[in-house]
Structure 1
Amino acid sequence: MSGLGRSFAFLWSSTALSNLADGVLKIGAPLLAVSMTRSPTLVSLVGAAATLPWLLLALPAGAIADRADRRRVMVAANAARAAILAAVTLLASLGLLDLWILLAAVLAAGVTEVFADVSAQAVLPMTVPADHLTRANGRVSSAQLVGNDFAGAPVAGLLVGVLPAAVFGAPALLYGAAGLLLLGMRGAYRLPDPRSERRPLRREIGEALRYLRSHRILRSLAITAGLLNLANAAYFAVLVLWAVGDGSMIGLEPGHYGLMLTAFGAGAVLGSLLSGRAAGIFGEYRTLAGAWLISSLLLLVPVAAPSPWTLYPTAVLWGVVGAAGNVLVISARQRLIPAELLGRVNSAYRLVGMGGMPLGAALGGVVAEFAGIGAVLTGAAGVCLAAVGLVWRTLPDRISRPLTSEAALSDISKQR
């Protein structure tokens, strides 16, 4: 695939299908929940259920990614979530689907997603050369965002209105196909470290936590990402109530909400492909901080001007800056973390970065019940702006360079 190799082509294709499934489920599940209840607390539980597994399982998933064949972990995770969602499809087709089964399905799919995603980010540096990481991550990110938003969102909006059971059935088929594509990747994707079989899991996890805590840049990025994701989880858990329905501020139909997320996906594809060029001009870390700042400011637009005419262009800009920031931060982590620690430190980072998302989603629903949805949206934007302010001076101007294990450890000792 444009010089990135046959194995990357299979990995990219699998990523595209699995993220299309993610997109259908991510949008379809909250829309089904809105059809069952108008309670902000109950609707926000869907977002909490999707992200709670990151809080509980990120660290063991990273340790397993560093011990096992990373491709096989991804295959097993895709097969498991295909089977789970096929069972829920059967229940839905029999008219047995309710809010609690919906929550259980989202939670179970989230568990398998943790193992698949942690291994996917760790397997990419084993698939392409280090100097192609930003380009490869841009391709992967564009596939993820096209599936999650550009294609998955309108499909989900259509299925909710026409055939609700397919909200689970379509992802089940897509996850199954994604797992089969991974079998086309050549070679072994397991680290050549025989000691990993004998070391206690707790010791390996502790090693990753110490590394993250000692690395000033990674630590700052993780804390900022954690605050941003907590606030955004609260924001988007209740945005559907602000935007969809006759009693909402914007008054969108479910299908139109899916189109808004398609607009987000279109911007995200552009942002993911242009991120490397922007980083080359402005510097990788300054570009990242600037993208986070713009994204935070854009959260205020639906509150200040609640209209479809402002929501759609805002969604495009959300996609551009969000995807650019995502590509840059993933590439930086893959360069800064030694290969033998990549799965564990990545998972420790994502625990800090994503662990607050279930709390944010649940908190958003509770606050909306008492203070109103507008207060949640405005407060989330304020938290994001404060987080960007904290990290702005921490990041260096220079683009991060690929690091060996020895260079990375030397960097840490200098930063203490």
Structure 2
Amino acid sequence: MGRSFRYLLAATTSSNLADGMLLTGAPLLAITLTRDPTLVSLVGVATTLPWLLLALHAGAVADRADRRRIMVITSFVRAAALAATAAAVAMDVLSLPVLLAILLVAGACEVFNDTSAQSVLPMTVGKESLGRANGRIVAVQTIGNSFVGGPVAALLVGVAPMAVFGAPALLYTAAGLLLLGMRGAFAPAKVSTAPLRADIATGLRYLVRHRPVRDLAIGAGVMNMCSSAYFAVFVLWAVGEGSAIGMTTGQYGVVMAVLAVGAIAGSLLANRLTVVFGEGRTLVTLWTVNSLMLLLPVVSPTLPAVYVTGALLGATSAAGNVLVVSLRQRIIPEELLGRVNSAYRLIGMGGQPLGAALGGVVGGLAGLPVVFVGAVAMCLAVMPLVARALAHKAVPVAV
């Protein structure tokens, strides 16, 4: 794999380390401001709401502009926003509304950055190398998000809260600089001159007509919504003296590291599993196991159970992600990749803010176990749709 992919991989490592620090640090900081499940769940809402609002526009822009340039700009914007937040923490003026506002800004940048990243990767490697390339990308994303970023953030919350935002600001800056090292043309060869609304409609039309991609998007959307509801309040089940498990913030960080170990293994083994068992059978099995594992910390609220759950969740999530992303990159035409990917992710991730909000409300009214069990039941209910999608040969369709 050439120079451009290596720089993309390095930038992905840096930016996902920053993502991991925010992913773990933000809810842990939030519970120092409030223990109300509904208010804590707003962290998840703020993080994911931009996907619902901006995903389609991000895809259309990615199919019109230089995808690397979009990633560079969003990296620097996130760096500036988080540096300002670090200053607010240093001056002891951080409040929940300020935290939520910054997460909205960071989330908006993530939408444009990630959409462009998935669309630019096939421009750095051949189609025959997509599986290996995505495996490496998912592995470094996991290392950054969980193996390093999560534990470091959990430690810094109690020691140097300002660094929870200051360190990611530096890492996003580094990611932007690394992206400048890529060489080549990263704008689509065929650029539409139609109005932006028409371009968005083209991407949606392709998704609606392509049954396997459409059904996978629906399945992923239900699972992500349920996962968002689950993890929006899981920190209350796991961390603190009044929680069911009674973990410390440091132990919570270790769980993130265990999850990362599983995810690295899953991302690197995904292609081999597909060769042995087939793409459809492998993905359905991975997602089913992933859903069932969410029950373990509920029926056995102990540290060992959480560690086992983390390892298997990481492995199944990462392997499934490699399979689905590679599938989309293989079958969607290059000039449509940004728009169709964004339409897919709108369905796949757009329900996350709703899930986070529901998790908080249901958790406050009916108790956290109701949230957890309900999330698992809905995930399992969507598995037949996923199996049906993968039973059909994924081929391009006319738009």
TM-score normalised by the chain length of structure 2 = 0.98
Q: CA RMSD in A?
A: 1.1
User: What does residue 66 of structure 1 align with?
Assistant: 63
Q: Are 1:146 and 2:143 counterparts?
A: yes
Aligned to 2:315: 320
The amino acid of 2:246's aligned partner reads G
How far residue 255 of structure 1 moved from its aligned partner, in angstroms, is 1.2
Q: Secondary structure at the match of 2:185?
A: coil
Contact 1:284–1:397 (Cα < 8 Å) also in 2: no
Contact 2:288 2:383 in 1 (8 A): yes
CA shift digits 1:349-403 (9 cap, x unpaired): 00000000000001100000000001101110111111113322331287x6xxx
| CA distance in structure 1 between the aligned counterparts of 2:121 and 2:72, rounded to whole angstroms | 15
Which residue matches 1:404?
A: none
Residue 154 (structure 2) pairs with residue 157 (structure 1): yes
Match of 2:237 in 1: 242
Corresponding residue SS for 1:408 = coil
1:391 paired with 2:379, answer: no
Supply the distance in 2 between the matched residues of 1:258 and 1:397 (Cα, whole angstroms). 41
Partner residue, 1:173? 170
Question: Is 1:346 the counterpart of 2:334 in the alignment?
Answer: no
Instruction: Verify the 8 A CA contact 1:283 1:397 in the aligned structure 2.
Output: no
1:78 aligns with 2:78: no
The 2-side partners of 1:236 and 1:367 are apart by: 13
Alpha-carbon contact 1:226-1:352 (below 8 Å) kept: yes
Choose which of 115, 124, 127 in structure 2 pairs with 1:127: 124
Identical aligned pairs, as a percentage? 58
- TM-score in terms of structure 1 length: 0.94
8 Å CA contact 2:20–2:144 kept in 1: the answer is: yes
**CA distance in structure 2 between the aligned counterparts of 1:229 and 1:394, rounded to whole angstroms:** 17
Contact 1:285 1:397 in 2 (8 A): no
1:87-98 aligned at under 5 Å gives the runs 87-98=84-95
- Name 1:403's counterpart in structure 2: none
Is the counterpart of residue 359 in structure 1 residue 347 in structure 2?
no
| Pairwise CA distance, 1:193 | 2.4
Match of 1:188? 185
- Deviation per residue, 1:305-364 (Å, 9 max, x gap): 110011101110111111000000000010111101000000000000000000000110
Distance in 2 (alpha carbons) for counterparts of 1:286 and 1:356: 26
CA distance in 1, matches of 2:143, 2:332: 28
Structure 1 runs, 4 residues or longer, greater than 6 Å off = none
d(CA) in 1 for partners of 2:190, 2:306: 50
2:289 counterpart (278, 290, 294): 294
CA contact 2:212–2:392 (8 Å) conserved in 1: no
Q: Output one character per residue of 1:171-191: Cα deviation in whole Å (capped at 9) or x when no partner.
A: 000000000000110011001
Summarize the alignment of residues 221-232 of structure 1 with structure 2, pairs less than 5 Å apart: 221-232=216-227
Aligned residues of 1:286 and 1:397 also touching (Cα < 8 A): no
Deviation at 1:409, TM superposition (A): 2.3
Amino acid at match of 1:97: L
| Structure 2 alignment gaps of length 5 or more | none
For residue 253 of structure 1, what is the aligned residue in structure 2?
248
Asked whether 1:374 is paired with 2:362, we answer: no
- CA drift at 1:61: 0.3
Structure 1 unpaired stretches of 5+: 401-406
Tell me what 2:258 maps to. Answer: 263
* Aligned equivalent of 2:9: 12
Q: Is the 8 A contact 1:49 1:107 kept in 2?
A: yes
Alpha-carbon distance in structure 2 between the residues aligned to 1:61 and 1:367: 32
- For residues 363 and 188 of structure 1, the distance between their equivalents in structure 2, rounded to whole angstroms, comes to 43
1:25 aligns with 2:25: no
- Secondary structure of the residue aligned to 2:245 is coil
What corresponds to 2:197 in structure 1?
A: 202
* Structure 1 residue matching 2:389: 3-state secondary structure: coil
Partners in 2 of 1:274 and 1:280 — Cα distance?
10
Moved more, 226-235 or 91-100: 91-100
What is aligned with 2:102?
105
- Please give the alpha-carbon distance, in whole angstroms, between the structure 2 residues aligned to 1:34 and 1:124: 37
Summarize deviations over 1:220-260 as a string: whole Å, max 9, x none.
10000000000000000011000000011100001111110
Supply the distance in 2 between the matched residues of 1:17 and 1:193 (Cα, whole angstroms): 31
Of 305, 308, 322, which residue of structure 1 is paired with 2:303? Answer: 308
